[in-house]
A and B are shown apart, each in its own frame.
Chain A
């Protein structure tokens, strides 16, 4: 039989193309209006230059957007998503074709005719089956296994959205199968079932000699498909599934400057003159940051990896996006324009995103490293902190160290004149303090921790010994050195960052050196990424690796004595600066080392609870210290020595070893100290 084509079947007396036109017009008009309203919010937001390096951006969009590169970090869910996304791409042509078929029964996308068309039709049919199966698996996974990262603590009513979308996509597949299955049944060419499995499968349930039913299924399936399609399209920008539209642009516009913090406001010459510093409301964020909120798919990978979240602090990166998006949808609604009573209105920063959340972040970057679509959190947290700092609302435990940095250039409250006092313990040689105009190959930036914290002074001494033993020409700034400002900036005190970094820059410029070397990744990061003037800076692990690869230094395994060693990646060395390999290569060149990797390593390293000023931060909500959790992770793999390359990791983990009662069972040591002890 010849099946009735949808375009030829009038509906309630009206010609089908007219109906198709009305549906198309209304749907597209509504969609455009909603999109306009949504994007209009971006127009009101703060500026953000994201149009540089177009080729890099395109590559990123291709690799992480279309290529879904980060998805398999969660293997199961990642594969499901890749299949769904691939299906989405393949079926988009099918959807266009079907829309056209409402107007003309023979509508084809150009080039999709003949054998190419046949191949596509066949591919499409397989895809429909795959997508339907993926949807069903996803529904079962959510409903039965209920992964914790999909929860929305504190806000109700988002979980159902996933079922709506999965239901809609399934409905699209099923109606497509009904539409094609009825035609397949009517054509009677049953031998082609391996080309068209979806249609063939659907046809099994259809009568063969009932043209009226087949026609009804064919035409009805078609219109149902069209309605589901436009329903889905219009559901996207009013739900969490906006990411279907915004994710790839979000990847394209993602932050290319890793390791640094955005300025207070782009395009402002003197931010100090601004009426307000930092972000208190939605449109205080940059347009890209609001696009981030729109784009969040609630997958929860960020919070699943957030160390603050893990130990029970108030912070959940995902919920920052979800709550901000809810706030955006509520305060910039599609239709309702009646203004609300401002007295009852909740403030975005303070009420909806609480101070506890804002201060709980260690800026470790685990969330950003995990997000499949490059949503940024650190800049937003810092922007909100800037606002709180500007209002003077800073936790008491952080005020003192900040004030000390302001007055003395270090958080320890120690006298400036004692900054080089640690060098006096070195008996074998003298550490030179570089005077203005003098030259040395290396400028050793000790930072406040190495200068004043008795435990960290040991690392400074070890490092000085290594450099002296290898006849390197190095010197320090002495009391001309100020705190690097890495944490000051991340706590939102931009003015103080400018003060301390400005003083350091002045000191650098008045002296001659080839490169700066630091063993604290925070100082290394600040000088490398935050300082407005470029200085060549390397981390101690890079310098040691260089010495080893030049063959000027040889190591022995006596200190380790066959113990199992693991390496803890410091956030500001690994995630923020991509230095993963050098420390490991240094370790692996120790003869006889028993090296074991922790499950959470490299870009998934687990923050020990933050360096710099965060050492002073007291958090009352946490159930467990992050460092304690990290010690457990090391114990799980049977490690007896944790090597790190950050003084704050060392302090936090050393404390955690004591508080978990593991003294004597496991030791933590800085890479610099280990190398110092492994050379003779």
Chain B
């Protein structure tokens, strides 16, 4: 059982004051802290748990610059056997398609029974990579998977749909599964756990080593162009809900329904 997990290195925007960059095509990222995409955290945990159950090898790969080493080490501490960092400066500005091209080229050359990734990334939320990567590798894929079982060269899984519906499905291996958050309880990674894997080397792979044409990566390989990134316009002030807790809760629910936040 060879499992490959694709990890994304994303900026943490939750507590930051976001500003748009001068080109207006991205946000300013210089001051932001980067971390593992939270969706992918569930993917690596699932890979580790499948390995613990049925055995095999877990390979982690990330298209990210050197600073992402901490993230990959954390993956090794979670149970991955090897980790690869793929980065060349030419890869800057790539969209999901360009990223999938690089990954598929890298994965083609190595044994793979199951490819795991998060359904979405916290930064652009495009959700494109999984499907495109599977298409390029010519294997079946599924998204928003909340439960996986591997048996007899097949993957049985459950998808969580709107309105609390569950959909059970099955695919032949090899396949790609893009997971939903919450399909497992990711383990905690202590400082000591990371220390234990410090001796594992994390190879840095450039695009020439993968053997992919420069024109297919980064901005030149991208098929989608970002026209403009902008901050939402400032609202007109907040409504302070007063009254007893029950009344306030009812009013809040009403507002949320009105604005379409809840059904």
A residues adjacent to B (C-beta < 8 A): 272, 277, 389-394, 396, 399, 402-403, 406-408, 412-415, 417, 493-496, 498-499
Chain B residues, CB < 8 A from A498: 191
Tell me, rounded to whole Å, the shortest Cβ–Cβ distance linking A52 to chain B.
Answer: 29
- Contacts of B169-228 to chain A: CB distance below 8 A: 185-193, 195
Asked whether B190 lies within 8 Å of A496 as measured between CB atoms, the reply is yes
Q: Give every chain B residue within 8 A of A413 (Cβ-Cβ).
A: 12, 14-15
Q: Which B residue sits closest to A418, measured CB to CB? A: B15
B16 within 8 A of A: yes
Question: Which size class do B's interface residues fall under?
Answer: 10 to 19
**Is A390's CB under 8 angstroms from B33's CB?**
no
Q: How far is B27's CA from A42's CA once the two chains are assembled, in angstroms?
A: 61
**CB–CB A415/B35 < 8 A:** no
Q: How far is the CB of B15 from the nearest CB of chain A, in Å? A: 5
B53 smallest CB distance to A (angstroms): 16
**Which secondary structure dominates chain A's binding surface?**
helix
For B7-36 the 0/1 string (1 means CB < 8 A from A) is 000001011100000000000000101010
Does B31 contact A415, Cβ atoms closer than 8 Å?
Answer: yes
Q: Quick check: B190 and A415 within 8 Å, CB to CB? A: no
| In the complex, residue of chain A having the shortest beta-carbon distance to the beta carbon of B196 | A272
Task: Please give, as numbers and ranges, the residues of chain B lying within 8 Å of A393 by CB-CB distance.
Answer: 187-188
Q: A408-B33, A417-B31, A495-B195 are in contact. Are A389 and B16 (CB under 8 A)?
A: no
B191 touches A399 (CB 8 A): no
Q: How far is the CA of A396 from the CA of B190 in the complex (A)?
A: 14
Instruction: Contact check, A406 vs B193: say whether CB atoms are below 8 A apart.
Output: no
Q: Which residues from A are CB-within-8-Å of B195?
A: 272, 495
Q: Give the distance in Å from the alpha carbon of A396 to the alpha carbon of B78 in the complex.
A: 15
Determine the chain B residues whose CB is within 8 A of the CB of A493 once the complex forms: 190-191
Return chain A residues, CB-CB under 8 Å to B187: 391-394
Q: Complex: how many Å from CA A499 to CA B192?
A: 11
A396 and B191 contact, Cβ closer than 8 Å, known pairs A407-B35, A413-B15, A417-B31: no
**Chain B residue with the shortest CB-CB distance to A264:** B192
Tell me if B16 and A402 are in contact (CB < 8 A).
no
- Least CB distance from B203 to A in Å reads 24
Residue of B nearest to A388 (CB): B188
In the assembled complex, the CB of B104 is this many whole angstroms from the nearest CB of chain A, namely: 31
Residues of B close to A407: CB separation below 8 A: 33, 35
Q: Shortest beta-carbon distance, B52 to chain A, in Å?
A: 12
Chain B nearest CB from A179 CB (Å) reads: 64
A415/B186 in contact, CB under 8 A: no
Asked if A495 and B31 make an inter-chain contact with CB atoms under 8 angstroms apart, the answer reads: no
B192 touches A277 (CB 8 A): yes
Partner of A495 from the list B12, B15, B35, B192 (CB cut-off 8 Å) is B192
Q: Are B33 and A396 in contact (CB under 8 A)?
A: no
Residues of B within 8 A of A390 (CB): 190, 192-193
Bound state CA distance, A414 and B193, in angstroms?
25
> With the chains together, A407 CA to B187 CA distance in Å?
17
A392 and B188: CB pair below 8 A? yes
The residue on A at minimum CB distance from B70 is A407
How distant is the Cα of A415 from the Cα of B35 in the complex, in angstroms?
13
Shortest CB-to-CB span from A405 to chain B, Å, is 11
